[in-house]
């Protein structure tokens, strides 16, 4: 349900695929990122009809983190039709993540 993004597939999956996309920026060494991983997976399963879910490992793909000026992780950027429309910085609860998605799903 959650796709890994890199510089090769980002444009196709985010910019060329219409709709709402949640993209989580994270790293293996980040405690809050590891804590949020199952919450993000559960949101992807529950909200897959409202949004596409993807993630970027900032250690593997630092270019994308730099491009979107991600300075703290975890960060979830919400893209709609290729444009960033909202973001959430820091670990979030299932409810907070669902509210973020539902604000823009229409």
Residues marked as catalytic: 30, 33
Structure tokens at 27: 């790293």
Secondary structure element (H or E) that encloses residue 24, with its range:
strand 20-26
- Does residue 3 contact residue 52 with C-beta atoms inside 8 Å? yes
Say how far apart CA 104 and CA 80 lie, in whole Å. Answer: 8
Query: 12: buried, middle or exposed (CB in 10 Å: 19+, 13-18, 0-12)?
Result: exposed
- Does residue 39 contact residue 47 with C-beta atoms inside 8 Å? no
């Amino acid at each position: 349900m959650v796709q890994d993004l890199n510089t090769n597939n980002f444009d196709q999956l985010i910019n060329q695929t219409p709709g709402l996309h949640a993209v989580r920026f994270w790293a293996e060494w980040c405690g809050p990122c590891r804590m949020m991983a199952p919450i993000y997976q559960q949101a992807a399963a529950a909200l897959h009809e409202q949004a596409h879910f993807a993630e970027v490992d900032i250690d593997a793909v630092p270019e994308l983190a730099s491009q979107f000026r991600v300075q703290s992780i975890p960060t979830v950027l919400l893209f709609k039709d290729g444009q960033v429309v909202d973001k959430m910085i820091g670990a979030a609860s299932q409810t907070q993540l669902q509210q973020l998605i539902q604000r823009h799903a229409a």
